[in-house]
Chain A
Amino acid sequence: MAFSQDLRRVRAIIWKDLTTERRSKAGFNAVAFLGILILLLFGFALGPDAEALRNAAAGALWLAILFAGVLAFNRAYQLELDGGALEPLLLYPAPRWTIFAGKFAANLLFVLLVEVVIVPVAIVLFQVQSLAGWAPAAGVMVLGSIGFVALGTFYASMASRSRAREVLLPLLLFPMLVPVLLASAEASSALLAGNPMRDAGAWIKLLVAFDVIFVVASFLAFDHVIEV
């Protein structure tokens, strides 16, 4: 009974965050276009040799997602902080994890929607030809995003409430993302090279393990961090 109420609270936070985003769309447009811009810049820096571009495609795509996506996390708290709405949210008689779960799910949907825009752009710009199945590729995108968003949502809960938040978030977040980035980029790279489930399978398993560890760790640590 209590758990179903918690789930309703989570849904309410997701709904609230996505509604504010949908009404302005400013955040989504900015992040999606920044992602495309970063892909273009990678193309200029690494191209124009088609072979070199194809080899770099997976890494460039993930870096574009990381650099653009990191801007979204502070925003998720910033709107509430500007309106003085974070304290009232904390005052509701509900477990803290529901706030993290709501923010995490809303951010995850946001990042996945950004990926829907920039992945096709990456495929076109980096002249990817063989893709070993859509389903595993989409799976890797989702799994990589889960680890990225869990840590991003957690660190932004601190960075957004400190001075110099724009610098602090990537400084705290990116070192933590090394395992997730490594596994996501390697799995995507294996899939783009067209050898499904040889290297990719091992990396996807690792990615699942990293996701479990970092999601659990973020959930546990969020309780301590949001109180103060």
Chain B
Amino acid sequence: MSHALPLDEVSAPAGTAGARWLDWFGVLAILALIGAQLLGVLTSPPERDMGHLQKILYVHVPSAWNAFVAFFVVAIASLLYLWKGDERHDLLAASAAECGTLFTALTIVLGSIWGRATWGVWWTWDPRLTSTAVLLLTFVGYLALRSFVEDADRRAQWSAAVGLLGALNVPIVYMSVRWWRTLHQMQSSPSTVDPEYVIGLRTNGIAVLLVLIYFIVKRYRAARMERLAEHLVERAALEGRDRA
């Protein structure tokens, strides 16, 4: 691509202008996260059985919540894409899927460390753990599909279908693993959180949500600029401008 692109169009195409607010939003999100972490870690008393290990709650649970938020966005955006066929919904779904995969991986790693320290095992075949792992693998497959398909329309259409089916599968996996475990008489006890930890947990949940929104928007804008640049190249090629 040696020919000159109209760079002013690429750097600030319609709908992507004004990145300053996003940078400020990013700073705010990171500061909120630091603040919420400090609040959670400093104000909560050590837990009766776990001691200070309990602090991992403030990163593990917010990651899990927000991973689900991200995949909810993927499902909605995929549905909108299949309905309306607007490329922006596809790019939003892709951005949310990447961030959701990141937070799911984080959830599993943190949960595994926590589990090792409190239950003595890295992994148990609990419905929530198992369905989270399946969710992660489903969306790794989704991202692999996106990277293996070149044609943009095809990629958008296919990944919307795969994203929706993947989202549909998660509750089914959860229920089936639950039945599997109950038939084997090993239901895990529901964990309840003491009021002392709730405030730290909620604030961290919101702080991580801000970080997630920042990530998704940032990723979405990058994807959108990439696509707009591709469109410009296509248009230039169609008009025969690249020969000049």
Hey, which bits of chain A sit against chain B, CB under 8 A?
Answer: 155, 158, 161-164, 167-168, 171-172, 174-176, 178-179, 182-183, 186, 199, 202, 206, 210, 213, 217, 221, 224-225, 227-228
Contact = CB atoms under 8 A, between A and B. Distances in A.
A225 B179 contact: no
Given A175-B141, A176-B138, A176-B165, A158 B158 contact: yes
B183 A199 contact: yes
Contacts of A158: 145, 149, 158, 161-162
B180 interface: yes
A84 B163 CA distance: 28
Interface string B165-203: 110110011001101100100000000000000000000
Contact of A182 (B141, B151, B161, B177): B177
Interface in B10-49: none
Contact of A224 (B137, B160, B176): B160
A221 B148 contact: no
A217 B161 CA distance: 10
A213 B138 contact: no
B161 A227 contact: no
B145 A172 contact: yes
Secondary structure class of chain A's binding surface, majority of residues:
helix
A213 B172 contact: yes
B116 interface: no
17 contacts: A161-B154, A162-B148, A163-B150, A168-B148, A171-B141, A175-B138, A175-B141, A175-B169, A176-B166, A176-B169, A178-B134, A178-B173, A179-B176, A199-B183, A225-B158, A225-B161, A228-B158
A2 to B, nearest CB: 25
Nearest to A151: B165
Interface residues of B, number: 32
B179 A206 contact: yes
Contacts of A227: 157
Secondary structure class of chain B's binding surface, majority of residues:
helix
Given A172-B162, A224-B157, 14 more contacts: A158-B149, A168-B141, A168-B144, A171-B141, A174-B137, A175-B141, A178-B134, A182-B176, A206-B176, A210-B172, A213-B168, A221-B161, A228-B151, A228-B154
B206 interface: no
A224 B83 CA distance: 10
Residue among A163, A175, A217 with most chain B CB within 10 A: A175
A167 B138 CA distance: 14
Interface of B: 82, 134, 137-138, 140-142, 144-145, 148-151, 153-154, 157-158, 160-162, 164-166, 168-169, 172-173, 176-177, 179-180, 183
B164 A221 contact: yes
A217 B158 contact: no
A90 B49 CA distance: 63
A207 B59 CA distance: 37
A176 B164 CA distance: 12
Nearest to B157: A228
B30 to A, nearest CB: 33
Nearest to A183: B176
A225 B157 contact: yes
A95 to B, nearest CB: 17
Contacts of A171: 137, 140-141, 144
A159 to B, nearest CB: 8
A225 B154 CA distance: 8
Contacts of B180: 182, 186
A175 B166 CA distance: 8
A222 B206 CA distance: 38
Contacts of B164: 221
Nearest to B169: A176
Contacts of A182: 176-177, 180
